[in-house]
Amino acid sequence: MTAGRATGPAPEIRLDGITKSFGSHMALHPIDLRLEPGRVVGLMGPNGAGKSTLIKILDGIHSPDRGEIRLGATVVGSLAGRPEVAFIHQDLGLVDDLTVLQNLRLGQPPLRRAGLLDRARETAAAQRALAAVSVDLPVETPVGRLAPGERTLVAIARAFDRGATVLFVDEATSTLPPGEAKRVLDSLKVKAAEGATVVMVTHKLSEILDAADRVVVLIDGRVVEDAPSAALDRAALVRMLVRSESPAAAVEDAALTPGDTLVELDGAVGGAVGPVTLRLRRHEAVGVTGLTGSGLHDLAHLVHGSTPLAAGRMSIAPGVRRALVPPNRETQGGFDRLSVRENLTLGALDRLRGRSGLLDLRAERSTAGSSVERLSIAPPDPEARYGSLSGGNKQKVILGRLLLQRPDVFVLCEPTRGVDMTTREQIYAIVRTLTREGAAILVVTSDAEDLFAVCDRIGVVADGRLSPLRPVSEMAESELESVV
């Protein structure tokens, strides 16, 4: 009912000696942390460093083994259900079919007049909530039709509108194109300046250095750095994050001559994309980028064959097999209830059958075991439940599944979303190896770094149409960022 105004200063949050272990794996060593109002705190660290575990403990999803959480002067079990604290996870918790107004008012006491909903007052309240985070949006638009950044802003507006003064943002900006991410970060900075506490978990160094006042780095479940961001420089931070991880293998880049054409689209239309003309050849990685909603991901599905061709022509060389890293990793990537082993080998089961026709579990276990080792998946246990893995490790498992499947054409959507820097380098190295070995690769990404790291030719999708591909050497990063 307090529309868009914090109900007083944010309480201080103190963590004292929080520990958590899963089986024999110590996810968090004693963590001591103080979160003061008026600051944006950036929480970073490699995949599996314990960031998500810490957030989940605060959100009451896990309970800590030891230690206590203090909100102001009160010791609390967790911060879940506290009106002054809000969590925004990657999925945002919005209902896509409802309008901005309905989403903002969801769960709030309805404003009534004569027993009926007072639309005018509800609309005014929603607009005030948006204004409080400096956003102007048509409140009657269904949330599903907003740009991703605008959706994130609606989630933030809703959190503050419900009286939150402490906000935890878990990777909510990692999927956003730079322009939209900046809008979100700016709005968070403004709220912090007004006295809110903002904690953001992210892998993007530039975001941390731009937006955060203070940086906390978590490695192997320990706080290894806690300093004002002004006192840190990018190089030092990179060194710190990379030092903790196994060194990425250096890969020699040799110019490759493209080989046979495996997939050819000629005026192809499908889903929300087209007509598209595109050739995928052996020994070549093609990169495609564009805004969300531009039909970018439909292009991936079209090439993979999971969206039917509606018009135009698409020819596939005989015997060519295609595999996809899906765009929605969280919902379409893997199998939560199955083990990492079962997730990895799903596409390679035909090769893992014994003479009897039954699965050779011994062969399967060793295959999965070497994938886990090669991709340094954490925890290093092929029998761990996929659902319990951190986002970056899930990404590695999905990629591992594709590698075991050994297709000729790889369609990789957002291959480095939410992964740490070492993994990113590792993924790039894998993609380069694949191209060298003769695969045709289509990288569909909103991350410009992916394009420059592994792609030979680059195109941009806008309004469902793909621009003519240009060699990467002819493009500058700034040029791409202006497009995206």
Partner 1 sequence: MLPPTVETPDHPTSTHRPGRLRGAGLPDLLRSDLAGRAWTTAAFLLIFAGYAVWLGSRFLNVGARLLDLHQNIPIILLGFAVLATLVAGQFDLSVASMSTLAAFLAVGLAVEERWPFGLVLVTCLAIGVVGGLVNGLIVVRMRVNAFIATLGTGGILSGFALVYSDGAAVVSNPTSGRLPEWFFGRPTSLGSFTAKPPAFVVWAVVALAAAAVVVVLRRHRPQGVPIRRWTLGLIGAVIAILVLLATVADLPAWLGQVSWMILLLGAVAVVLWGLVGFTVFGRHLKATGSNPAAARLAGVHTDGVTIRAFVVGGVLAALSGVTLAATLGSASPGIAEPYLLPAFAAAFVSTVILSNGGFTVWGTLLGGVVVVWIGQGLVIGGVSYTWTGIVNGLVLVLAVGLPALLRRRRT
Q: Please give the residue ranges that form the binding site for partner 1 (CB under 8 A).
A: 16-17, 24, 30, 60-68, 73-78, 80-81, 304, 306, 323-324, 326, 331-338, 342, 345-347, 349-350, 353, 357-359, 361, 385, 401, 405
| Nearer of residues 334 and 459 to partner 1, judged by Cβ | 334
- Tally of CA atoms within 13 A in the half-sphere of 150 that contains its CB: 18
- Give residue 318's identity as a one-letter amino acid code: P
Least distance in Å: CB of 332 to partner 1?
5
**Spatial contact of 414 and 175, defined as CB atoms under 8 Å apart:** yes
**C-alpha to C-alpha distance for 194 and 166, rounded to whole angstroms:** 12
Shortest distance, position 340 Cβ to partner 1, whole Å: 13
Cβ closer to partner 1: 38 or 60?
60
Q: How far is the CB of 365 from partner 1 (least distance, A)?
A: 8
* Residue 200 dihedral angles phi and psi, to the nearest 5°: -120, 135
Q: Minimal distance in Å, beta carbon 440 to partner 1?
A: 17
Which lies closer to partner 1 via its Cβ, residue 62 or residue 151?
62
Whichever of 65 and 264 has its CB closer to partner 1, that residue is 65
DSSP code string of 298-324: HHHHHHHTSS---EEEEEE-TT--EEE
The one-letter code for the residue type at 131 is: A
Cβ nearer to partner 1, comparing 385 with 436: 385
The minimum distance between CB 374 and partner 1, in angstroms, equals 20
CB of 325 to partner 1, least distance (A): 9
Q: Where are the beta strands (DSSP E) in 130-231?
A: 166-170, 197-201, 214-219, 222-228
473: its two tokens: 């050497």
Percentages (nearest 5) of helix, strand, coil residues in the chain:
35, 25, 40
- Which parts of 19-146 fold into alpha helices (H)? 51-58, 100-105, 119-132
Residues 325, 415: contact at Cβ < 8 Å? yes
Measured from the CB atom, the residue of 331 and 478 that comes closer to partner 1 is 331
Using alpha carbons, select from 330, 6, 445 the residue that is nearest to residue 196: 6
| Cβ-based burial of 259 (10 A; exposed 0-12, middle 13-18, buried ≥19) | middle
Is 319 or 468 the residue whose CB approaches partner 1 more closely?
319
Nearest distance in Å: CB 401, partner 1: 7
Query: At its nearest, how many Å lie between partner 1 and the CB of residue 346?
Result: 5
Nearer to partner 1, 240 or 359 (CB): 359
- Give SS3 for 270: strand
Task: Please state the closest distance from residue 28 (CB atom) to partner 1, in A.
Answer: 13
Compute the distance between CA of residue 273 and CA of residue 152 in angstroms, rounded to an integer. 25
Distance CA 242, CA 362 (A): 35
CB of 76 to partner 1, least distance (A): 8
* Of 61 and 106, CB closest to partner 1: 61
Cα 86 from Cα 200, distance rounded (Å):
12
3 or 413, CB closer to partner 1?
413
| Cβ count near 4 (within 10 Å) | 17
Write the burial class of residue 21 (CB in 10 Å: 0-12 exposed, 13-18 middle, 19+ buried).
middle
